[in-house]
Amino acid sequence: MLETLELTSGQVRAVFDALSMVTAPHSPLHPFASERAEPVAAPGGIWREAFEILADPLLEVRLLEGTPEGVLPRLYYRGNDPRSPLVRVDGVDQGVRLTAGYDSEAVTGDLAGMLWAGSGPEGVDYRASLSPAGLAAWAACLDHLRAQLCVSLLHRAPGMDLTLSLEELDHNLAVGLEAGDGRWMVTLLNFLAPNGLLAADAAERGARELERLGLLRPSSGGWLPSGEMLFMGASLQPVLPAAACVLTRFGRDKAEVNYSVALTGAGRYLWTLGFEERGGGDVEITLASCSGGELADWMKRQVSDAPGRRAGSGEASGSRCVSCGAELKPGAAFCSSCGHQVEEAHKQGKCISCGAALKPDAAFCSRCGAKQG
């Protein structure tokens, strides 16, 4: 069951002070905590756990809903324990709204709701790798096909000119990058894909790439779309709803990012774009078809199976006092906040990092991997 709590910026600061919490640089509550605290009761139960998660989250799930006007974000955070609930964070006037109690099913349901994709047709099987230039040309091609369809309908003329000239691709790409109407593919991907990925001068290089992939074929005056490209154009009419899913796993020195975009079109076909950074700043993009069930299964795995931080692996250990929850300094024998003896927790059969019960004579915690004693 979901529970909601709204706090002002001053109350956020007061909660951190009351719980003696030291927030990590990537804490989503940093922008909402003012310098001056305001009176508020110290949270307990589910809210204490929620603030512990938000002080130093392991996983951020960022769902970006594409709309004609832009992007609507939804942010969820999970702690070190894969079994812990997720907390949603929404900015409100002069403060923040927290919603606790999410699990992987609930987050997946939010994504499916964005895409109207509880289930979709089976039998479509397509997968290809694209460069950013190839993606830009692909989007410009789809916009051209859609524009031709609109002209055909407007003039009640069944035939369409499917020839894609370089000038038309350049035009569709330039207009799409400058416009703010997310009902067109170039603009939509400019909203949802990683910032700055689509370039206005990428049409020719991208079209050559699509030609090598068999999505375009040379023709007098430019290119003609293949059957696969025509199917994509038909199945992605309209281009909305669409969503981006950005999963960030935080470490001490770096953050691992898994960035993908899901597009829903006619017939509830789903297309996904996965973005993976390569050496030298290059990005490889995987275009694939999938069903609603496949997308849901992938989302659940990402949220629930992300491993916790391991002590000694170069990532933050997340050590906290098992008595008051305050962050412990490396090697500390006592908690600087409440004076609780750190080693005592180990003697009592609890992890000195996360407080989980330990097996007899355990050298490492089976939940978070922290070394004991």
Q: Which pLDDT does position 320 carry in this prediction?
A: 59
Which of 210, 205, 141 has the alpha carbon at shortest distance from 176? 141
Question: What does the DSSP assignment read for 57-97?
Answer: -SEEEEEEEEETTEEEEEEEEE-SSTTSPEEEEEEETTEEE
Q: Which pLDDT does position 100 carry in this prediction?
A: 93
Query: How does pLDDT run across 5-17, given as a tens digit for each residue?
Result: 999 999 988 888 8
**Structure tokens, 268:** 């509830």
In percent, the amount of the chain with pLDDT more than 90 equals: 35
Whether 181 and 235 have beta carbons less than 8 Å apart is answered as: no
Residue 261 has pLDDT above 90, yes or no: yes
Query: How does pLDDT run across 286-339, given as a tens digit for each residue?
Result: 999 887 778 888 888 888 776 666 544 333 344 555 555 556 666 666 666 556
DSSP label at residue 328: P
Domain boundaries, the chain: 3-115, 127-289, 316-373
CA distance 62 to 75: 5
Query: How does pLDDT run across 228-245, given as a tens digit for each residue?
Result: 999 898 888 878 889 999
pTM of the model: 0.76
Query: In which order are the strands placed within the sheet that holds 95-102?
Result: 3-8, 95-102, 86-92, 70-78, 59-67, 242-250, 255-264, 270-277, 283-290, 127-130
CA distance 77 to 83: 13
